[in-house]
Amino acid sequence: MLLTFEVIAEALRERIRSGGLEPGDALPTQAVLMAEYGASSLSVQKAMALLKQDGYAISRPGKGAFVAHPDADTDGDSDDGAAGNTPVGGTAARVEALELALAETLDQLTALRARVEALEAGGTERGC
């Protein structure tokens, strides 16, 4: 069974593969994806991190996420002047995705630690 973020990532990959989203197109915003899939912001962020890690998407600071060329490694020799318009996944995109995933994991661990401490305290706030 796939997790919500995996479902979102696979659906976006399929849109890209089918041509519904083309290289350079803006990906749906976090708010749109949350509404479309009934997902949390964390699930959408994880899906986007996965797409970036796999080379399907790239972020443009202040502008959002865009479709990268999914076959950048196999047909990257097609320089048709669109290089400035078409984001290409690579090491930077993967590092960014890994950093986001790490930050999300740390947030989850912090939340879990707080839950455990609350349970151990019997639901009361002691020593806060």
pLDDT digits (tens, 9 = 90+) for 14-73: 999 898 999 989 999 999 999 999 999 999 999 999 999 988 999 888 888 999 865 544
Q: Could you tell me which of 109, 108, 86, 64 has the C-alpha nearest to residue 16?
A: 86
Query: Which of 72-76, 77-81, 114-118 holds the top average pLDDT?
Result: 114-118
Tell me if 121 sits within 8 A of 63, measured CB to CB: no
Which pLDDT does position 80 carry in this prediction?
Answer: 39
Q: Which residues pair with 64 in a beta bridge?
A: 60
With 0.75 as the threshold, say if the pTM is over it: no
Query: Does an H or E element contain 58, and which?
Result: strand 57-60
Q: Could you tell me which of 76, 67, 84, 82 has the C-alpha nearest to residue 20?
A: 67
Cα distance between residue 122 and residue 45, in whole Å: 33
Which pLDDT does position 98 carry in this prediction?
Answer: 75
